[in-house]
Structure 1
Amino acid sequence: MRLLYELEGDVVSEVEFLRSNPNRYASYDAILSGNDEHATQKCIIENNDVLSVVSSHFKAIIVKRYSEDIKENNIVVFPTCGKEVYVDEFDESKREYIRKKYGYADKYVVNYTGNLFFTWAQFDRCLVAFKMIKEFLCVNAHFLAIVPLCDHEAAVRYFEDHSIDKSDYTLIEVKGDQLVEMLLASDVGLLLRPNHVSMLCGSPGKFCDYVSSGLPVLMTEYVGDYSAMVAKDKLFPIVRDISSDAEILRCASILSKYEWHDRMMIAKWAQENILTNVYTHKYTTVLKGLGLLTNVDIR
């Protein structure tokens, strides 16, 4: 039997980050008091034939950290990816209908999708970004927080910390097709990540959700491999310093000018670069390679 193991992030550097950046509204005791993360990761690598990781930087770290335990050519890179979208079915009138349906027709909707448990989500900085957008760019800005129900209490406390009025935000949990609607109704998505090595080893699924819906993204340079891809193709301006209000505002200003044709360009870029169908052949090839090792015909 041959085994392929998928690692979605570097637990070693993630634990390092969480220990230095506690959550003021939640405890990390349960996830920081387990077995040694180095030993656990090493055990995984020693007992599998092929390792799948979500970014090229993560691969480089694994090669350096465990050079005696795994060969470089036995590590493959597959980002999180996203479901196939049908760009040709997108329609500006549909977006306007959805915005009217949810009461956003006259709003500039700033979208945050994800959980608040892990502090690398930088919800504080996202709220600062929203307040700057509202003050300096779009007086009609409205914050749409799509977060799990279990995080709603914490979210309200964050809004209170930043003196954001209840009329200026919507806090909801959505699933399935409604998420696509809410993203299509939004004007910009927030994906601010700290300048930490653990963030280069990840591959946030929310990025795929955002761009597959054609949503412009206010993002930093530490978003796995995606930041480099975006910078290379000049899809969005990249926030180089998450601590710089001026830098965030500069990028937000550029994104606020994106129009419908820009959204279609973003969705097509996603379709060609980061959706699951882009990596199907590569993944099948990896599995067939394992099949040859086991003398099993994988069809």
Structure 2
Amino acid sequence: MMEEKSIAVLHVCSISPTMGQSGYEIRVIEETHLLKEKGIKVIILCFIRRNQLFSLSRLFKLYHQLRKMSGAIVYIVPTSNFFDLQISPCGDKWISRAIIFISKFHRVKIIHGQALYSTMHILRIRQKLNAKVVFEVHGASPEETEMSGGHPNRIKKLEEWEKEAFRSADHFNFVSYKMRDYFQKKYSLNFINYSIIPCCVHTEKFVMVWNEREQKRHELGLNDKIVIAYLGTLTVWQWPEAMFTLFEQIHKKRKDTFFYLLVPGSDHDKALELIHKHNISDDSYRLEEVPHDKVGAFLGIADIGLLLRKQHPVNYVASPTKFGEYLAAGVPVIVTDEIGDTSAIIDKNKVGIVINVDNEGVSEENLNRLIDFIDKLKIDRNEFAHRCKQTAESELDWNVWGQKLIDAYHNILS
């Protein structure tokens, strides 16, 4: 078998210069960082929108952030056409030239498309490339576009691209078993060359000893509180309306509950609007932005994490990064059913509770189940934390799943 250090892999992606906390960005960075640590030669080709290129200083900041966080060789190319569906079947000239030049310069053996757009740009020029193509399936792109109110013509074109990608790429990375099953059924395919690699975490970054946790809770005045946390953005598929409604319901029953919102600054206005709509008092919540690489130092003060999604194909195939982050921090999770493989992990390891919810909240029966769960959690908080951390280490740690990706690379080349 060839030495891992001899494999050069090009990851093609598109990341905003503002570097938010989207699951896509986190996945790209964590995955490439792990591969670099394992001895793979990793090159990142990051395309950014020209209209986001506000200054050279912003460009250099993104470059240094990607270099520091991934450890990879980084190229950044501005373009206006990365998300253009009217692109020629031969590909966009500047995007194609960048991929071809970097692939040949670094003698790349595998080109790894991060999500559908990246993969399609690669596949359009694959005849000019001496490399295998991996399609990293981050989600159901046509369904995401539909959920966000996209034009029917765009949705149709994305389905054509998606079908072509599944028929043309050499290997597929799915983030959940449900994702694999969904696409097999959707396109009447039987995948052979694939890996299941969930959105994982580096669990060591979320270690918080119990005394440190208690000290931080004391500093924030949370000693006697049940802290319910939410980590992430407030985009439509995160179902913020249901989340705030649920907290309002719980808080009416348990006045000792506290809502801890770790949300990007760009979503703070939306969060405050929902806080006021649901009559959440100033002493019952905390809203702040924490850089993703610092989340582990804050999340562990929580008692419960929220992960609510509507029943929709976008969520059915998902593997939310925040699920592993909650568990790694020792925080059990309240989830809705049909979010990738999360319900199965919770049922198997007893690290949370699965509920039914809508925009109006939960039924009286489900609310009583939640209150009972909170009561048990308060008694056995330490035991819950132990189970959560063990589950994260065994089922959602990059050190476990990263080797599977490296093995897949070897299999592709052999």
2:370 pairs with 1:251: yes
Residue aligning to 2:183: 62
Larger relative contact order (CA 8 Å, sep ≥ 6): 1
Match of 1:84 among 199, 203, 214: 203
Q: Residue 120 in 1 paired to residue 242 in 2?
A: no
1:122-170 CA distance string (max 9 Å, x none): 2122112212222213x12221111111111111111122122233221
> Offset at 1:104?
2.1
**8 Å Cα contact 1:238-1:251 kept in structure 2:** no
Q: Aligned partners of 1:84 and 1:148: how far apart in 2?
A: 22
**1:135/1:82 CA distance change after superposition, 3 Å:** same
**Normalising to structure 2: TM-score of the pair?**
0.62
The Cα offsets for residues 161-214 of structure 1, whole Å up to 9 and x where unpaired, read as 212223322111001454223211111111111122321101100111100011
SS at structure 1 position matched to 2:326:
helix
Confirm or deny: 8 A CA contact 1:203 1:224 kept in the other structure: yes
Structure 1 residue 257 displacement after superposition: 2.5
Equivalences for residues 19-168 of structure 1 within 5 A: 19=149, 36-67=157-188, 71-85=190-204, 90-117=208-235, 119-137=236-254, 139-168=255-284
Unaligned runs of 5+ in 1: 20-27, 293-299
Letter in 1 for 2:135: Y
Cα distance in 1, alignment partners of residues 214 and 411 from structure 2:
48
> More strand by proportion, 1 or 2?
2
Report the number of matched residues.
278
Partner of 1:295: none
User: Counterparts of 1:38 and 1:160 in 2: how far apart (Å)?
Assistant: 40
Aligned-partner Cα distance in 2 for 1:86–1:16: 36
1:6 aligns with 2:136: yes
- In the alignment, is the contact (CA less than 8 A) between 1:211 and 1:266 conserved in 2? yes
TM-score, scaled to structure 1: 0.84
Q: Whole-Å Cα distance in 2 between the matches of residues 32 and 136 of structure 1?
A: 47
AA partner of residue 80 (structure 1):
C
Matched-pair contact (CA < 8 Å) for 1:129–1:249: no
For 1:61 and 1:263, how far apart are their aligned partners in 2?
33
Unaligned runs of 5+ in 2: 1-130
Structure 1: how far apart are the matches of 2:268 and 2:173?
A: 34
User: What displacement does 1:81 show?
Assistant: 1.0
1:283 corresponds to which residue? 405
Letter in 1 for 2:213: R
Write the distance in 2 (CA, Å) between the matches of 1:224 and 1:253. 26
**Conserved 8 A contact 1:219-1:239:** yes
Equivalent of residue 220 in structure 1, options 314, 336, 349: 336
Q: 1:262 aligns with which of 349, 362, 384?
A: 384
Q: Taking structure 1 as reference, are residues 156 and 15 closer, same or farther at Cα in structure 2, changes over 3 Å only?
A: same
Q: In the alignment, is the contact (CA less than 8 A) between 2:239 and 2:310 conserved in 1?
A: yes
SS in structure 2 opposite 1:128? Answer: helix
Where 1:194 maps in the other structure, the secondary structure is: coil
Whether the aligned pair in 2 keeps the contact of 1:55 and 1:200 (CA below 8 Å) is no
Alpha-carbon distance in structure 2 between the residues aligned to 1:144 and 1:44: 40
Which residue is equivalent to 2:301?
A: 185
Q: Name whichever of 102-111 and 165-174 sits farther off.
A: 102-111
- Distance (whole Å) between structure 2 residues aligned to residue 237 and residue 201 of structure 1: 20
Going from structure 1 to structure 2, the CA distance change for 1:249 and 1:114 (only over 3 Å counts) comes to: farther
SS at match of 2:199: coil
Q: Distance in 1 between matches of 2:258 and 2:286?
A: 8
Which residue type is aligned with residue 145 of structure 2?
V
Q: Secondary structure at the match of 1:73?
A: coil
